[in-house]
Amino acid sequence: MELQITWFVLWSVLWAVYFMLDGFVLGTGFLSGILAKNDTEKRLLINSVGPVWDGNEVWLITAGGATFAAFPTTYALMFSYMYTALLLLLFSLIVRGVSFEFRGKLEGEQWKGAWDRAIMVSSFLPALLFGVAFGNIFKGLPMDASGHHGGLLSLLNPYGILTGLLFVCLFAVHGALYASVKTVGDLSKRAFELAKMLWIPLLLVALLFLGATAYSTKLYDNYLAAPYLFLIPAIAVLALVAVQAYMIANKPLKAFAASCVTILFVVFTGVTGLFPNLIPSSLDPAHSLTIYNSSSSQYTLVIMTVVALIFVPIVIAYKIWVYRVFRAPVTEQDLLENKEAY
């Protein structure tokens, strides 16, 4: 049973790190039409995420792979019950990657304009859909012995939409701060000012989310049973406040770091309340999918643990190296000198 808990923790960390890393790429993408005033600034924004966006998606693939290997029943039923929403999410991520690569292949306002719009839409939709999906998981799906009683429209309930808006607001502030750190001049200043403006809506949506969670989910049950767990949401709240404090102090890099912590602990807050469930049933708790009734065999979990201990540190080391190599802000001179620039 201990390995099920280990893999639940790893599963949680993989999702949290993915949202922290790809969150700023998604945020930068759907804010690009607001931030960039000309083609050069759009190229600067795209090239600020160019070296890392595809590597960030490794964490998504790993999170999905961990779900498939460690909790195959949950993986199968999740993709069955939420098939349409997840398919839309997949198509959005595909279009985003294609847009980054194809935008600069031809000159022309119409060509680039079409891909610019594609980047914005295909960045906004995943942010919203991830939030809606996790909101419904937190709330519980209407499922019992006969299966799932719902469809795409049933996922668009008030709590699911609210969680989707929370993700959008988190990623918007995250992306604006990243853009302010990774660019220079007017574009950097504009991004930083936008992050300041977006923090207030984020705070309001976060407060609504915390209140709605008490009425729409059972996530607080674990916290009430073990009050020391309230340290997790407390860190998320303090980090969110720190984002604003650092922005007021005109320290964008520290504000971005605080935003990273905020996203990590928002995800940890949700999954801690979810434990030991992976997909709770809103109809009958007996039909909830948990880490125990949907896990792989003990032998499989042992093999996976050994593999994870070997390769996860390698992936982490690689990501640290990549971010260190590309730590400098992107400038117009970089676009001129680098033939591989987008």
pLDDT for the residue numbered 340: 64
Mean pLDDT, residues 150-177: 93
Q: Is 321 part of any domain?
A: yes
Q: Is 133 part of any domain?
A: yes
Positive/negative CA dihedral, 262, 177, 20, 132: positive
Q: What is the per-residue pLDDT across 294-327, written as a single tens digit (0 to 9) for each?
A: 999 889 999 999 988 898 898 889 889 988 888 8
Indicate whether 1 pLDDT > 60: no
Q: What is the DSSP letter of 40?
A: H
Residue 22 has φ and ψ, to the nearest 5°, of: -80, -15
pLDDT for the residue numbered 332: 81
User: With a threshold of 0.85, does the pTM exceed it?
Assistant: yes
Residue-number span of the structural domain to which 80 is assigned: 2-337
What DSSP letter does each residue of 300-338 carry, written as one string?
HHHHHHHHHHHHHHHHHHHHHHHHHHT-SPP-HHHHHH-
Helix (H, G, I), strand (E, B) or coil at 278: strand
Q: Domain count of the chain?
A: 1
Residue 110 has φ and ψ, to the nearest 5°, of: -65, -45
Mean pLDDT, residues 87-99: 93
Q: Is 96 part of any domain?
A: yes
Residue that the structure tokens 């079409």 belong to: 114
Q: Is 64 left (phi over 0), alpha (psi -120 to 50) or beta?
A: alpha
Mean pLDDT, residues 232-261: 96
Distance CA 253, CA 180 (A): 8
Alpha helix (H) ranges present in the chain? 2-35, 39-49, 53-70, 72-81, 83-102, 109-139, 152-155, 158-182, 185-216, 220-225, 231-248, 252-274, 298-325, 332-337
Q: What is the largest CA-CA distance in the chain?
A: 62
* Mean pLDDT, rounded, of the chain: 91
Considering only residues 233 and 147, tell me which one the structure prediction assigns the higher pLDDT. Answer: 233
Q: Is 89 part of any domain?
A: yes
Indicate whether 64 pLDDT > 80: yes
Residue 142: count other Cβ atoms within 10 Å of its Cβ: 16
Q: Is 74 part of any domain?
A: yes
CATH number of the domain at 140, please: 1.20.1630.10
Helix (H), strand (E) at residue 105: none
Distance CA 178, CA 172 (A): 10
Q: Is 278 part of any domain?
A: yes
